[in-house]
Structures are given as C-alpha cells and as structure tokens.
Chain A
Amino acid sequence: MTTPRRLWLCIVLIVSGIHLMPASGETLLPKASTAVVTLDVFSGRPNPTWALSEQRTAELLHRLQALEPTKVETPEFDGLGYRAVRVELQQPGNGAAVVTAARGLVTLDRADERVRYTDAGRQFELWLVNTGSDQLPPDLLRYVTGEIASKPR
C-alpha cells in the first residue's frame, strides 16, 4: 500500500467512523459522520450550504479515494463569483477534515496535514456542486456548473 493510500485510509477511519462489513467484502462506509457542503460564491450574502446524506457521504469518500495524489499546486481564485466548493466532514470527538475542490485540484486538509489530488476534467468538483441541485436556485447552479465546464483546468 502506498503512503498516500495509507494516509487516506487513516483519515477515513478517524473522520468517518468506519465499520467493516466482512459479509459483503471489505466495504468501507461512513456511519455517523456529518458532511456539510459550502459553495464559496457570494461576497455579501452568506454562502449556500447543504448537508450530504449518509449515502452521498459514502460516495464522496469513494470518489475521493479514486483520485490520483499530486504535488502540483495551482493558484486559488479568490475574486468575485464562483471560487470553490468545500465539504467539511465532522465526527464528534474525532475532529474535522475539509475537502476543497477548485480549478482541477482537490485538497484534503486535516489537522496539520494537507494532501492534494488531481481532479481530471473537474468531475469531482462538478459532482459535489450537483449534490446541491435540490437546494440551489437553478440560475445559480447553472452559473456555477457553467463556470466549471468553461474552465476544465
């Protein structure tokens, strides 16, 4: 097992309250963690936020696990308009991890550790934004997904 994989598994175990289900193979599923997504897009008003269901949280972790680690850094965009989508994973007593997707990179921050992953075609970012499709005004969703699609890197 490579070092990033070990680190990832470690984080998943700590943050998400994993339990193993040997009957169906080694399926890793979060049990009691909460995952709150924030769309960093507004200046004046509070940013839109929504919670992920347990199923969506599990999918998030599986998608994250499938990304390739990278050492590449890209400058953040922090001007007016859509900047990033962020999800905060919380497990009472075990701290938090923050996953940020922007501009083709996914960054996992926990305590003092930071791991970066390549998000080819910004598919992870797009998926995460679309988990809010029931909560976000259609015009805003269209704008954000349009921004992502127009700048694949």
Chain B
Amino acid sequence: MHLAFDMFSGRPSPSWRVPSHLARRVFELVADSGLLSPHGLGPKLKHLGYRGAEIILPPELVIRYRVSPWLWLPPNPITDLLLFRELESIIRFVGFLGMDELLRILRLIIELLQKAGTPRTPPSPGGGGGSGRCPFETLPYDPGPWNDPAFKPTNNCYAYASNKRAHYPDKPQPGIASGAMFTSVTAADVSAATKRDGAHDAGDCFPDSEAPRLLVALVIWPGVDYHWYRKHPDFWGHKPGSTDARNIDNSGNVITNPQTCDRGPYTEFYGYMLMPRSQKVAA
C-alpha cells in the first residue's frame, strides 16, 4: 500500500510504503469511516494546508474488496479528525520501520484539523441557506419531568437529547429503534447508529415538517461510553445516565459550549447533529 498526504506547497508530498500487515487495517479503517462511498472520493483541492490523502491499494485488497486501486480522500470535516486519530493509534500499536515520520505528519494534520475547527461550529438558530447551516429549534429548559422518579432511572442522555421521555425498560441506545445498535463505542459507530434512527450531521438539513429539529452534540469516552447534550435557548442541557437533567458541567459551570465544557472522561468531541421530530428512540 502506498499512502501519501497532499499538504505541502514547495516540498513533495510525504508518502510511505505501508507494509502488508498494516495495509489491511488501514483499508478497513477507511472503509469503516464511510470514505469509500462516492461522495467520499472527491476532486483534488488546491488551497494551502492539508488537502487530502492518496492511497494506492495492493492487488490483494483490490481483488478481495473489489475496489479501485487508487483512492483519493479529500478533507472531510466530519470524519478526518477521528480517522487520523485512529490511524495514529493503529500505527503506534502495529509499528514498522519509518513509522516515526508518519506519526509526526499525522500529528501535524490532526493539529491543523483541530485549529481549523470548522465542522465543530454549530449552525446558527433559524439560519437556513448559509453553506452548511440548517434551521433548528430550541425548547425551553424544563428538567422537572426528566427528574420525576418514574422516569429518571432509564431516561438517559440519548432520551434527553432527542426529547423522547418514556417509560423505557432500560436506557435507550442509538440504533436499537432502527434494528441495529452500535457495535463499538467510537464516534463513527455511535453517530452512524444515531443516523439510522433518523438524525443527521449538522449541515444536512431537515424540512420544516420535521420541527422541532433539535441541535445536539455527541461526545465520546473512547471505547467506553458516549454522551449527548441538547441546545436550549440560552445554554445546553444534558442528563448523565440516571442522574438529574441539568445545565451545568462537571465543574458546576453553566454549559454555553459543549466542546469546551468540563466533560470528565468524555474527552472526544465528535460534533453537532440534528435530531428531527421523527427520531426513533428505543431501549
């Protein structure tokens, strides 16, 4: 496998020959991130900074998975940060000669993506028509019904985010209502299961008939658990597991930005999503 990153202006693009024992894992990671779909294989960009990755697959993978030998992955604001973090962990775990330089470049790209931060910005309320901005509605903050002892134990963050309060037999989980729960606690898997239940990434708008379209944020305790926040008119609310619904973070501060608030071990910020009125939620 040949792997190259298009990112420099004067110098040649850094590239590596990835050994076969690692190539299949890299390919599977790219496939799991949904980057083999047609919209993931876009044209090359010309701006400065990170512009995309090129992968030339070895014949055994081309034959086995029946894919094109040449893959071009343009910058993807939703998946890149997760993809490169996971790629970094895989390379650190597997290891090969020359991996130090690859890890250095990956960390540089991660830093560039974090600085760019554009996909993490929530759309403005009621604003439609702007690029990547969708209309959404906020409901008044009303924790009382959520903290009713008849509902509190099994109505978790997912129920709160989607505003689907019910007598669940257990905590509802993304994907159960649509027939397939997430299988690993990664942002890619949990967000995909949530989309199967009806949600979209912010920027992929819903029609007015789906109002209230709720703006929510997904965060991950990597490999362990997930958590959701929901936007209210002046701040964000959430419900950690079976505890009370509240609008403060782990430091006791009112949450004005779920990306920067104190989230304890939920260190990974996936981004913003929209949950429509028809969002299905089940335990």
Closest Cβ neighbor of A47 among chain B residues: B241
Q: A-B contact count, CB below 8 Å? A: 62
The verdict on A140 contacting chain B, using a C-beta distance below 8 Å, is yes
Nearest Cβ in chain B — how far from A53, in angstroms?
25
Bound form: Cα–Cα A42–B173 in Å: 12
Residues 110-139 of A, flagged 1 when their CB comes within 8 A of B and 0 if not, give: 000000000000000000000000000101
Across the interface, do A140 and B224 meet the contact criterion of CB distance under 8 Å?
yes
Please pick, from B157, B243, B263, the residue contacting A44 in the complex, using a CB distance under 8 A: B157
List the B side residues contacting A139 at CB < 8 Å: 223-224
Range class of the B interface residue count: 20 to 34
Contact B250 A80 (CB under 8 A): yes
CA distance A45 to B225 in the complex (A): 6
Residues of A within 8 A of B263 (CB): 80
Instruction: Take A78-B243, A78-B244 as given contacts and tell me if A42 and B250 are in contact as well, using a CB distance cutoff of 8 Å.
Output: no
Q: Are A143 and B265 in contact (CB under 8 A)?
A: yes
Of A43, A137, A140, the residue contacting B157 (CB under 8 A) is A43
Q: Is the CB of B158 within 8 A of A44?
A: yes
Residues of chain B within 8 A of A80, CB atoms compared: 227, 240, 250, 263-266
Grouping DSSP codes into helix (H, G, I), strand (E, B) and loop, the A interface class, with mixed when no group exceeds half, is: loop
Complex Cα distance, B264 from A44, in Å, reads: 14
Query: A102 to chain B: closest CB distance in Å?
Result: 12
A79 close to chain B: CB less than 8 A = yes
B245-263: contact bitstring with A at CB < 8 Å (1 yes, 0 no)? 0000110000000000001
Determine if B173 and A45 form an interchain contact, defined as CB atoms under 8 angstroms apart.
yes
Given A80-B250, A81-B250, A83-B243, also A46-B170 (CB < 8 A):
yes
- A76, closest chain B residue (CB): B243
Nearest-neighbor residue (CB-CB) of A81 within chain B: B264
A40 on interface, CB distance cutoff 8 Å = yes
Residues on B facing A (Cβ under 8 Å): 156-158, 170-171, 173-174, 185, 190, 223-228, 239-244, 249-250, 263-266
A44-B174, A45-B185, A45-B226 known; 8 new pairs, CB 8 Å cut-off, are A44-B158, A44-B173, A44-B227, A47-B242, A78-B243, A79-B249, A80-B227, A83-B241
Question: Could you show 25 A-B contacts with beta carbons less than 8 Å apart?
Answer: A42-B225, A43-B156, A43-B157, A43-B227, A43-B241, A44-B157, A44-B171, A44-B225, A44-B226, A44-B227, A45-B173, A45-B226, A47-B241, A47-B242, A78-B243, A79-B243, A79-B264, A80-B264, A80-B265, A81-B264, A83-B243, A137-B224, A139-B224, A140-B224, A143-B265
Residues of chain A whose beta carbon lies under 8 Å from any beta carbon of chain B? 40-47, 78-81, 83, 137, 139-140, 143
